[in-house]
Amino acid sequence: MYKIATIGGDGIGPEIIAEGKKVLDAAGEIFNFDIEWVDFDIGAKRYLSTGNLLTEEDLSELSKFKAIYFGAIGDERVKPGILEKGILLTIRFYFDQYVNLRPIKLLKGVETPLANKGPKDIDFVVVRENTEDFYIGIGSRFKKNQKTELTVERELYSIKFGLDINSDADEIAYQIGVISREGAQRIFIYAFDLAQRRKRKLTSVDKANVLSDIYGLWREIFTETAKVYPNVTTEFNYVDAITMWFVKNPEWFDVVVTPNMFGDIITDLGAMIQGGLGLAPGGNINPKGTSMFEPIHGSAPKYKGLGVANPIATIWAGSLLLDHIGEHEAASAVLGAIERSIQNSIITKDMGGSANTARAGSYIAKNIRRS
Ligand code: IPM
Ligand code: MG
């Protein structure tokens, strides 16, 4: 028996989470476990009516779970950044979900925009550091003759540097990125351990040739950590170059470890080469705490309620969730069922099919029961 928290969120979020639950419940029937779902009402609707993004109570309740199944947040009525930072990023930081795990895998039957590449060429994992870098939320804007107040946007987890920048410029803005030794070490250890269980190749992404302080430290700690894993082949890629190699030679990669912001950027590219955002899942993992699993796409408000959303990214995120809680067989059965449904063309419009969201989800669930 597992207890799992769900946050459907905004837009298409609740619809795709409903399909995810259906499939994970089916996996439970076959692999002998039960899931008790505990739904949380968090998102734009509640924010607009109460002003609450995440309350202390939400966080303390969520902290009782090992896993959160998350749909999407984002709503046209709310200024960009409010919900993203106030909900999604706050959960990632508050629960110290320092690993953002994003498999880039072309499933059988899925079309990739890359010419002459198939499922055997596109099968790697991006391990994105998820709590540091330019995402820490320290920055400010100010105008001439107005003294700067350090903007500490997320008091729950921010670090104070006591900066007091003043400038004679007309108007400036700054944002600070931070890599800590501990933060880099723990993500590298996770990535090396993962590479050891896969094809034993680890690529580290940085921009140490220009942002040499922050990514110089990143590179130094990567090199040190590599000494502990002599059986893993390592290499460095600059972030600009890796976008080129993802397109030209995706088969080179096994595990890719990246700082937070570059990871955000390159995983959208990764999503495209594996068939599109509708197929890209992610896990926000704290190996010893509360983790969260989500599709990497957003809430697509204009498709809300139309039944056209592709549930696969969310269902695949559910597979990552099962893997995380130790249900490894069920996790691969879910992925297998997704793949078979695609091969049988029970897919949504974005993939060239005609199934609606619920039909696509139900078919995957049925497929698990049959396997
Ligand atoms: C992602 C998203 C988020 C990020 C946004 C919505 C805050 O783009 O999960 O990749 O930047 O991490
Ligand atoms: Mg992103």
CATH of the domain at 220: 3.40.50
Torsion angle of C-alpha atoms 260, 266, 272, 276, degrees rounded to 10: 10
In this structure, are 216 and 301 located in the same domain? no
Residue to probe by mutation, ligand 1, list 88, 128, 297, most atoms within 8 Å of CB: 88
Given 245, 273, 301, the domain boundary residue is 273
CATH of the domain at 39: 3.40.718.10
**C-alpha distances in angstroms, 106 versus 117, 250, 273, 294?**
9, 11, 7, 18
Over range 275-287, report the average pLDDT. 97
Q: Name the average pLDDT for the chain.
A: 93
| Cα(145) to centroid(ligand 1), Å | 35
Pocket of ligand 1 (CB under 6 A): 84, 88-89, 264, 296
Closest listed residue to residue 327, CA positions, set 78, 39, 28? 28
In this structure, are 257 and 342 located in the same domain? no
In this structure, are 95 and 221 located in the same domain? no
| Cα(135) to centroid(ligand 2), Å | 12
In this structure, are 27 and 66 located in the same domain? yes
Given 242, 273, 304, the domain boundary residue is 273
Task: Establish how many alpha carbons lie within 13 A of residue 268's alpha carbon, considering only the half-sphere containing its beta carbon.
Answer: 7
C-alpha angle 312/39/348, rounded to 5°? Answer: 20
In this structure, are 257 and 358 located in the same domain? no
| Cα(369) to centroid(ligand 1), Å | 34
When computed from its CA atoms, the radius of gyration of the chain, rounded to whole angstroms, is 21
Spatial separation of the C-alpha atoms in residues 247 and 237, rounded to whole Å: 14
- Give the per-residue pLDDT at 147: 57
Spatial separation of the C-alpha atoms in residues 74 and 80, rounded to whole Å: 8
Is residue 48 helix, strand or coil? helix
In this structure, are 281 and 370 located in the same domain? yes
Give the total number of structural domains in the chain.
3
In this structure, are 149 and 244 located in the same domain? no
In this structure, are 72 and 17 located in the same domain? yes
| Residue identifier of the C-alpha nearest atom 7 of ligand 1 | 84
| Cα(255) to centroid(ligand 1), Å | 20
- Closest ligand by atom to 130 CA: 1
Spatial separation of the C-alpha atoms in residues 337 and 176, rounded to whole Å: 44
pLDDT tens figures, 284-328: 999 999 999 999 999 999 999 999 999 999 999 999 999 999 999
Torsion angle of C-alpha atoms 97, 101, 102, 106, degrees rounded to 10: -150
- Give the per-residue pLDDT at 158: 44
Given 273, 297, 324, the domain boundary residue is 273
Spatial separation of the C-alpha atoms in residues 335 and 358, rounded to whole Å: 18
Q: Write out the H or E segment, with its range, that includes residue 241.
A: helix 239-248
**C-alpha distances in angstroms, 306 versus 74, 160, 183, 327, 348?**
17, 45, 42, 33, 12
In this structure, are 283 and 358 located in the same domain? yes
Domain around 99? 1-103+277-371
Asked if the model's pLDDT at residue 279 lies above 90, the reply is yes
- Give the per-residue pLDDT at 139: 78
In this structure, are 198 and 62 located in the same domain? no
Q: What is the pTM of this model?
A: 0.94
Q: Work out the number of other CB atoms within 10 angstroms of the CB of residue 127.
A: 26
Report the atom number in ligand 1 closest to the C-alpha of 92: 12
Burial of residue 230, with CB atoms counted within 10 A of its CB: 0-12 exposed, 13-18 middle, 19 or more buried? exposed
More confident residue, 217 or 153: 217
Reported in sequence order, the residue ranges of the chain that DSSP labels E, i.e. its strands, are 2-9, 35-39, 67-72, 99-105, 123-129, 133-143, 151-152, 171-178, 201-206, 233-238, 255-258, 281-285, 291-295
- Give the per-residue pLDDT at 171: 77
Where residue 157 falls among pLDDT bands split at 50, 70, 90?
Answer: very low
More confident residue, 150 or 332: 332
| Residue identifier of the C-alpha nearest atom 9 of ligand 1 | 296
Phi (first) and psi of residue 176, to 5 degrees: -110, 135
In this structure, are 141 and 191 located in the same domain? no
In this structure, are 371 and 281 located in the same domain? yes
Token look-up 């302080």 returns 213
Report the atom number in ligand 1 closest to the C-alpha of 85: 7
Asked if the model's pLDDT at residue 152 lies above 60, the reply is no
